[in-house]
Amino acid sequence: MAVHAITQGARQAKSAAPAEMPRNAGMPLDEAWLSGTRVNLSAAERRVATLPGRRSVKKDAQAGWLLKAVTCIDLTTLSGDDTEGRVRRLCAKAKNPIRPDLLDAMGMGERRITTGAICVYHRFVAAAVDALKGSGIPVAAVSTGFPAGLVPHDVKLREIEASVADGAAEIDIVITREHVLTGNWQALYDEMRDFRKACGHAHVKAILATGDLKTLRNVAKASLVCMMAGADFIKTSTGKEGVNATPLVTLAMLREIRAYHDRTGFLVGYKPAGGISAAKDVLTYQFLMKEELGRRWLEPDLFRVGASSLLADIERQLEHHVTGRYSAFNRHAVG
Ligand SMILES: O=C[C@H](O)COP(=O)(O)O
């Protein structure tokens, strides 16, 4: 097995990554920029439709991309029946996401591969922080009345503060969809500004719930407003909308990240989430990141995938790569 290709794949963007990246400081709401924001739907659809035919990676290179993807997963559990025990098991998986024998066979046994983060409700933040002590894996908390975001504004701010106090290093907020649907960009900007301030040193991911926003133009504008208000990441979905992450919505959001970077110099991260459970799907998102934004955006500080079951399929694909056989999903249940 060409270990070199795998390690190269897994590290591919590392060399380009600067040691320290300034956080997006935001900027005043720019209404003129917003009103000029458009999405050419048919061009976007064509661009996304041609991707699978044009882009594919095989064998060692694919294994490298998939290992890289593992380091970008926000390993998530967001169910009403979550328990501390389930969260602790998930944390154990985050620390050792791929079976050691598979990593050894790929020449990656010496590398410390972990997921990008764990993502849980506030109630489990303290337990997750405790379970991940010493691992360097951050805990992300969904917040602000996730998933609908319809609790009072001051309650949202208190929720953020409580999760940060419990040790969350990342906060995934949900925006008020009504602000987008009524074109009240000032209200969206103000709420996002408050969220960012309440997060303090914790990084904030703005969940747009794109499946609720009706048009790609709304998605593009909401992306821009959240970045202007200081979002560190923009994220597609809670996983609870009828339609969650898609390549089309991704393209619209990545184009706004690019425009924002061109104009301000700030690098904002991207997190597709919801319904991403197949290894081939995460490759599509990685290809889009690389083609639209460049290799720097393949690193976990700028790319995360919110997923509760993706890891199981990646581990299965890697097992097939190593052994030539597929195992049953129930052998990878936690992922
Ligand atoms: O933010 C992450 C999502 O809630 C995960 O969604 P999923 O369970 O469909 O993978």
Domain boundaries, the chain: 3-10+28-332
Strands (E) across the chain are located at: 73-76, 117-120, 139-142, 170-174, 203-207, 233-235, 269-271, 305-307
Token readout for 18 is 């600067």
Closest CA to 223 of 204, 206, 240, 211: 206
* Pocket lined around ligand 1, Cβ cut-off 6 Å: 76, 78, 119, 238-239, 273-276, 306-309
Measure 265 CA to ligand 1 centroid, in angstroms: 30
Cα 274 to ligand 1 centre (Å) = 4
Find the Cα–Cα–Cα–Cα dihedral 285, 245, 143, 154, rounded to 10°: 120
User: What ipTM was estimated for this complex?
Assistant: 0.96
Q: What is the pLDDT of residue 110?
A: 83
> How far does the chain reach from its first CA to its final CA, in angstroms?
25
Residue to mutate (ligand 1; options 78, 118, 121; most atoms within 8 A of CB) = 78
Report strand pairing: 269-271 vs 170-174.
Answer: unpaired
Query: In this predicted structure, what is the pLDDT of residue 7?
Result: 53
236 to 32, 41, 239: CA distances (angstroms) = 24, 18, 9
For residue 151, how far is its CA from the centre of ligand 1 (angstroms)?
A: 21
Among 77, 237, 305, residue to substitute to test ligand 1 (most atoms within 8 Å of Cβ): 237
Class of the domain covering 3-10+28-332: alpha beta
Q: In what order do the strands lie in the sheet with 139-142?
A: 269-271, 233-235, 203-207, 170-174, 139-142, 117-120, 73-76, 305-307
User: Is 172 among the catalytic positions?
Assistant: yes
Mapped onto helix, strand or coil, the DSSP state of residue 320 is helix
Cβ(147)–Cβ(238) under 8 Å? yes
* Ligand 1 centre distance from Cα of residue 330 (Å): 19
Q: With contact defined as beta carbons under 8 Å apart, do 195 and 170 qualify?
A: no
Give the residue whose CA is nearest to atom 6 of ligand 1.
274
Mutation choice for ligand 1 from 115, 308, 334, CB with most ligand atoms inside 8 A = 308
66 membership: H or E segment, kind and range? helix 59-70
Partners of 203 in beta bridges: 170
Task: Give distance in angstroms: CA of 75 to centre of ligand 1.
Answer: 9
Model pLDDT, residue 333: 56
Q: CA-to-CA distance for 325 and 127, rounded, in angstroms?
A: 37
Which member of 74, 172, 281, 313 is catalytic?
172
Nearest 10 degrees: Cα torsion 234, 263, 225, 200: 60
Phi–psi pair at 141, nearest 5 degrees: -115, 130
Displacement of CA 243 from its chain's centroid (Å): 16
Give the 3-state secondary structure of 83-148: CHHHHHHHHHHHHCCCCHHHHHHCCCCCCCCCCCEEEECHHHHHHHHHHCCCCCCCEEEECCCCCC
Looking at ligand 1, which residue's alpha carbon is closest to its atom 8?
A: 308
pLDDT by residue for the chain (335 residues), tens only, comes to: 554 555 555 554 344 444 678 999 999 999 999 999 999 999 999 999 988 777 778 888 999 999 999 999 999 999 999 999 999 999 999 999 999 999 999 999 888 899 999 999 999 999 999 999 999 999 999 999 999 999 999 999 999 999 999 999 999 999 999 999 999 999 999 999 999 999 999 999 999 999 999 999 999 999 999 999 999 999 999 999 999 999 999 999 999 999 999 999 999 999 999 999 999 999 999 999 999 999 999 999 999 999 999 999 999 999 999 998 887 766 665 55
- CA–CA separation, 315 and 257 (whole Å): 31
| Position in ligand 1 atom list of the atom nearest CA 244 | 9
Q: What is the pLDDT of residue 15?
A: 42
Q: Name the amino acid, one letter, at 6.
A: I
